[in-house]
Structure 1
Amino acid sequence: MARLTPVVIGVGDMINRSRKVEDAIEPLELILQSIEIAIKDTNVPKAAEARLRSAIDSLDMVRTWTWPYEDLPGSIAKAVNITPRHTFYSQHSGKEVARLCDAAARRISFGESKAAIVTGGEALASLAACAAAKKLPPPGWTKLDQKVDSVFSPTETELKSKAGTLASKYSIGAPIQVYPLYENAFRAHRGQSIQENQKESAQLYAEFAQVAKTNPLAWNYGTAESEETIGTVTKRNRMICFPYPLLMNAFNTVNLAGACLLTSAELAKELGIPADRWIYLLGGAGTQDSPDFWERPNFYSSPSISLALDVGLEASGLKKEDVDFYDFYSCFPIVPKLAAHHLQLPITKSPKPITLLGGLTSFGGAGNNYSMHAITETVRKLRRGDGTYGVVLANGGVVTYEQVLCFSSQPRKHGPYPDKNPLPSIIPAIPAPTVVVDAEGEAVVETYTVDFSREGTPIRGHIIGRLKSNNHRFLAHHGSSSTLLQLSSWVREPIGRSGWVWNESTSGRNLFTFETGEKL
């Protein structure tokens, strides 16, 4: 059988801006509305709409943070009146949207599926409003067997998943902590000062905010934070983990859903769907680094980002020069920085867009589903003729999981859709420093971050260091008040500085100080 040509024929997004308890709409309903918008977006002739719906035999759902449904795919299929042979509910990860679209395109290419929906949604703003009003569960939402008495916290989930590991021992592993480890290391690797780096991050996110300001689907539509506001630590823009204040962190309390409808060009033509609605999927690639961040080769690069970009473009028959625009996942500034740096694009004032939405701070961090909206916006831009090739980089975990997906207004130039992910699911072992549990002796700071209280006070310094005696890596907490203050400094670079590490018998944790003999 000849291979078929996968195309996106419809996209839909739904936003509920109200934070009133009485206006709370659950994710299931927002998702259903986005699917109906996507079906309408195909411009399928009315006489063929029933046939299109009956052809939908694949339903992939991005796991929602908001509500622990018993069977969300089943509920969606019943409400849309489809009987998919393939259904899937993903794990928690921001890269799943792109991976699911890639997999759906592959099934369509092989004729294993006629038409496919990939969708997801969140109602975290509504849920937070209900929690604040002490009205959980929200009235009218799908009833659950289990009790819901709090709003989902990805930070707590990340830490619980690391229970029993070094991350748990040192209370580090949440995204708000690990991404700063990379930002600090990337800064030092490039020879930037701390203040130069902070200015760059603020400028980057101010540019992103301007993009979100013009997007009607953005949570911050119509408004944009300035570079000065983003980069200045204040009571409103309090420090979370050094060097990121609040406005450099993902903002997750949004109500957003999105859907993507795929089929083959051959069936789209049969159904009478206008060719100007077709956007071709060219290919993609995805992989992951070690799930244990302390076992990675360094903290100033991401092998998974670099490989996903390079191999995703290659699998799609593209060179980076061909690409007209990108949407780089941007939960924190470091992710678009690493991607842009690898592709040799300027981090700020890039001649090619590196965000279409405005990032998870200004557009809104729609749980695991942010990159769905990047895909829908890519489709709209290509339909408008704003370029020929667009690329989405979806990221998950703590710079862990990466998936690239390439789109075009033109079909692939060479051969059918790739018959598999060209990358292994996990990058083969890359040489990394030996990690020691109990460290003792003179050492050097490899990277670090500092946890801050809600009042803006530094409360814990996290150090990843190297022993001078054998270059082995260790994790440690600050071992003196002076060291904690030095790690919080905006003037003097801690990375590369020498100090001393020892293992405290009481807690079993390593402690690090810059001054010998000065301990807590």
Structure 2
Amino acid sequence: MTDTSRIPVIVGIGDLKGDPADVREPLDLIHDAAVLALDDTGHRALASQLDAVHAVKTVSWSYENLPELLAARLGAAPATTSTSPIGGHWPAALLDRIGADIAAGRSSVALLVGGECSATTAALRKAGTDLDSAGWTHAPGGPPGFNPSDLGSPQMQRTGLMVPTRVYPLFENSFSASEGHDAAESPAWSARMYAEFSKLAAAHPASWTSTVHTAEEISTVGPGNRMIGEPYPLMLNAMPFVDQAAAVVVCSLDKAREAGIDEDRFVYLWGGAGASDPLDVLSRSNFHSSSALSDVVRRTLDGAGVSSDSLDIVDAYSCFPVVPKLLIRELNLPDTTIPSVTGGHSFFGGPLNSYTLHSVAEVTRRLRAGADLALVHGNGGFLTCQHTLLLSSSAHSDGYVGDPETRALSSSAPDQVLDYSGSADIVTATVEYGRGGEPETGFVVATTPDGRRLAGHTGPAEAAALAQLHGDNPPAIGRTVRVHDANGLLTLEF
């Protein structure tokens, strides 16, 4: 029989949105979410018993030790505190670590928090207000810093693939081509899925938006929905400028019972798995799949001895449509699946690293309301780091069955060639548009006749030409072109 002091259960959840007009800092919003989560347990006094407080990295303001500051406000004295690095997979990964700590007897009452006030900081900057003058916590801390490594590898920077809005469309277009979709099919799938996401978000009290959008509205490019990086108009991009926070309280089953928490509110943390692909997307084996995602889905389901058919709920990270699409494929689910109960980054809101913590909160509500088994997914980097978790309304026969340590995967990719001139076949491509709606920059990954990989960005003329190459495949994929690479700037002849 599994030791009940080693079974992790979620006993409290809280999430909310802020108002930029209030000019509150992330710590304030996160504190409110933590209080909501403790109140949700029915026993706020659990705060004094917290032995661990973990935080997902806050980006909109810098804190040296946010968990310590939060613990002081809550009247807690945890033996363990930690703050994650940057990455949207960390809420799932940290929750898995908390489960492992409880299973190993290292913890019995833990709090996981995350939050951002990016809408507020954006409003302050727009008004010309120095963030240092906002009166927010310096302990130490202050306005967010910038780490050039967050822009990707030197080769990615040379190519211009420094931001997600340029990288994820490359994966989407390659995935679409691998599926045999024509230029319209994959965007239509995205729009249908995100229309359903907007319905979920509109009904959620912590959602940043409350408008329901149709698939036609989402797919129609125009004022208010300009094209960003083909094939993603604005409504298919994450919305990071939000003020949102979430918190989750996890106890051992024994501690939860000892505290007198209603067992109807227990959600059992079975555990999951994490994996990462190489940081440099140009060293990946292909652009239409994720080895890390395949790995974590297999390990998570196999570790629990269940199949995807057993899942009542799937909540995918959805910064861009290709991510939930890849999860749908890994789980062998139909294309009509709506892999969210939260509402997605575009409509619910994308609070940078902590979105999946909101997913955990909403999944917990659904499991309390009668669902049995849920898979929650987090994605970090440029489709780089993946973590999946299983949560259930009932205990697993073996208690915690997760594998929280991230597995670093290698990749076999073609050798990269720099400053190449000659013919090449386009593997994937996208076009970035300016605010006026004109093609501005093309991004191309191609293979030379001897099998080497080249990548770079174009000027406006080549971007316009790429944008016109819609045929049986997404833009330009499979076309042979003449390329001249001058330190990452490509000249193309079609």
* Structure-2-length-normalised TM-score: 0.94
SS in 2 for 1:337: helix
Contact 2:440-2:464 at 8 Å conserved across structures: no
Paired letter, 1:19: P
Check the 8 A contact 2:421/2:482 in 1, yes or no.
yes
One-letter amino acid of the counterpart of residue 344, structure 1: N
Question: Match for residue 103 of structure 1?
Answer: 97
Moved more, 224-233 or 367-376: 224-233
Give the CA deviation at 1:242. Answer: 1.3
Q: 1:72 Cα deviation (Å)?
A: 1.3
1:344 matched residue in structure 2? 332
| CA distance in structure 2 between the partners assigned to 1:146 and 1:311 by the alignment | 38
Sort the Cα spacing of 1:310 and 1:224 in 2 relative to 1 into closer, same or farther, 3 A.
Answer: same
Give CA-to-partner distance per residue, 1:199-227, whole Å, 9 cap, x none. 22111111111111111211112x11221
Which of 7, 10, 13 is the aligned partner of 1:8? Answer: 10
**Structure 2 CA distance, aligned partners of 1:58 and 1:145?**
21
Residues 181 and 419 of structure 1: CA distance in aligned 2, closer, same or farther (over 3 Å):
closer
Deviations 1:463-498 (A, max 9, x none): 100012x111111333782x4223113733410011
Seen in structure 2, the aligned counterparts of structure 1 residues 444 and 55 have a Cα distance that, compared at 3 Å, is same
Tell whether 2:463 aligns with 1:484.
yes
CA gap 1:13/1:321 in 2 versus in 1, 3 angstroms: same
Is residue 269 from structure 1 mapped to residue 282 from structure 2 by the alignment? no
On the 8 A contact 1:158/1:174 being kept in 2, the answer is: no
**CA separation of 1:245/1:315 partners in 2, compared to 1, >3 Å: closer, same or farther?**
same
In the alignment, which of 429, 441, 457 is matched to residue 460 of structure 1?
Answer: 441
Q: CA deviation at 1:157?
A: 5.6
CA 1:458–1:157 in 2, change beyond 3 Å: closer, same or farther?
A: farther
1:359 partnered with 2:349: no
Q: Quick one: distance in 1 between partners of 2:139 and 2:6?
A: 41
1:128 to 109, 113, 122: 122
Is structure 2 residue 433 aligned with structure 1 residue 426?
Answer: no
Aligned to 1:19: 20
Provide closer, same or farther for how the CA distance between residues 192 and 214 of structure 1 changes in structure 2, counting only shifts above 3 A: same
Structural RMSD (CA): 2.0
1:218-243 deviation digits (Å, cap 9, x = unpaired): 1112x112212211111321111111
| Aligned with 1:495 (options 460, 477, 485) | 477
Which residue identity is paired with 2:11?
I
Whether the 8 Å contact between 2:283 and 2:412 is mirrored in structure 1 is no
- Look up the match of 2:27: 28
Residue 311 of structure 1 deviates from its aligned partner by 1.0
Cα distance, 1:425 vs. partner? 2.6
Contact 1:476-1:512 at 8 Å conserved across structures: no
1:518 aligns with: none
Matched, 1:84 2:78: yes
- Secondary structure of the residue aligned to 1:488 is helix
Tell me the distance in 1 between the aligned counterparts of 2:38 and 2:142: 35
Partner amino acid for 1:498?
T
Residue identity matched to 1:141: W
- Does the 8 Å contact 2:91/2:354 carry over to 1? yes
Q: Could you give the per-residue CA deviations for residues 359-404 of structure 1, whole angstroms, max 9, x where no partner exists? A: 100000012110000000111100010x100110000101001100
Q: Report the counterpart of residue 157 of structure 2 in structure 1.
A: 168
> Offset at 1:82?
0.7
- The Cα shift of 1:411 comes to 0.3
Counterpart residue identity of residue 313, structure 1? L
**What is the rounded CA distance, in whole Å, between the counterparts of 2:378 and 2:322 in structure 1?**
14
Aligned to 1:60: 54
CA distance in 1, matches of 2:469, 2:217: 17
Which residue of 1 is the match for residue 400 of structure 2? 417
CA contact (8 A) 1:279 1:410 kept: yes
Distance 1:171 1:298 in 2: 18
Distance (Å, rounded) in 1 between the aligned partners of 2:150 and 2:260: 51
Structure 1: 5+ residue stretches without partners: 516-520
Aligned length: 488
CA distance in 2 between partners of 1:460 and 1:367 (Å): 25
1:238-285, Cα deviation, whole Å (9 max, x unpaired): 111111111111001111111000011111111111111111011100
Q: Say whether 1:392 aligns with 2:339.
A: no
- Answer whether contact 1:117 1:259 (CA < 8 A) is retained: yes
Cα contact 1:63–1:368 (8 A) shared by 2:
yes
CA contact (8 A) 1:211 1:357 kept: yes
Residues 303, 402 of structure 2: 8 Å contact kept: no
Distance 2:55 2:367 in 1: 24
Aligned to 1:509: 488
Whether the 8 Å contact between 2:414 and 2:451 is mirrored in structure 1 is: yes
Following the alignment from structure 2 to structure 1, what is the Cα–Cα distance between the partners of residues 87 and 459?
A: 35
| Structure 1 partner of 2:244 | 256
After superposition, the Cα gap between the structure-2 partners of 1:419 and 1:380, relative to the gap in structure 1 and judged at 3 Å, is closer
Secondary structure class of the residue paired with 1:361: helix
Look up the match of 1:142: 137
Superposition deviation, residue 451 in structure 1: 1.9
Q: Which residue of structure 1 aligns with residue 223 of structure 2?
A: 235
Q: What is the SS of the residue equivalent to 2:333?
A: coil
SS in 2 for 1:209: helix
1:316 alignment partner in structure 2: 304
> In 2, Cα distance between the equivalents of 1:358 and 1:389?
19
C-alpha deviation, 1:430, in angstroms: 3.0
Equivalent position of 2:209 in the other structure: 220
Amino acid across the alignment from 2:167 = V
Alignment pair present for 1:298 and 2:286 = yes
Does the CA contact (< 8 Å) of 2:63 and 2:141 recur in 1? no
> How far did residue 442 of structure 1 move?
1.6
Measured at CA, do residues 278 and 260 of structure 1 come closer, stay the same or move farther in structure 2, by a change above 3 Å? Answer: same
1:119 aligns with 2:119: no
Is 1:177 the counterpart of 2:166? The answer is: yes
* 8 Å Cα contact 2:114/2:354 also seen in 1: yes
Q: Structure 1 residues 83 and 388, CA, compared in 2 at 3 Å: closer, same or farther?
A: same
Query: Does 1:473 find its partner at 2:427?
Result: no
Distance 2:327 2:271 in 1: 18
Native 8 Å contact 1:439 1:510 kept in 2: no
Distance across 1 between alignment mates of 2:121 and 2:230 = 29
Provide the C-alpha distance between the structure 2 equivalents of 1:103 and 1:255, rounded to a whole number of angstroms.
Answer: 26
1:512 shift after superposition: 4.5
C-alpha distance in structure 1 between counterparts of 2:309 and 2:402, whole Å: 25
1:419 to partner: Cα distance: 6.5
Q: TM-score, normalised by structure 1?
A: 0.89
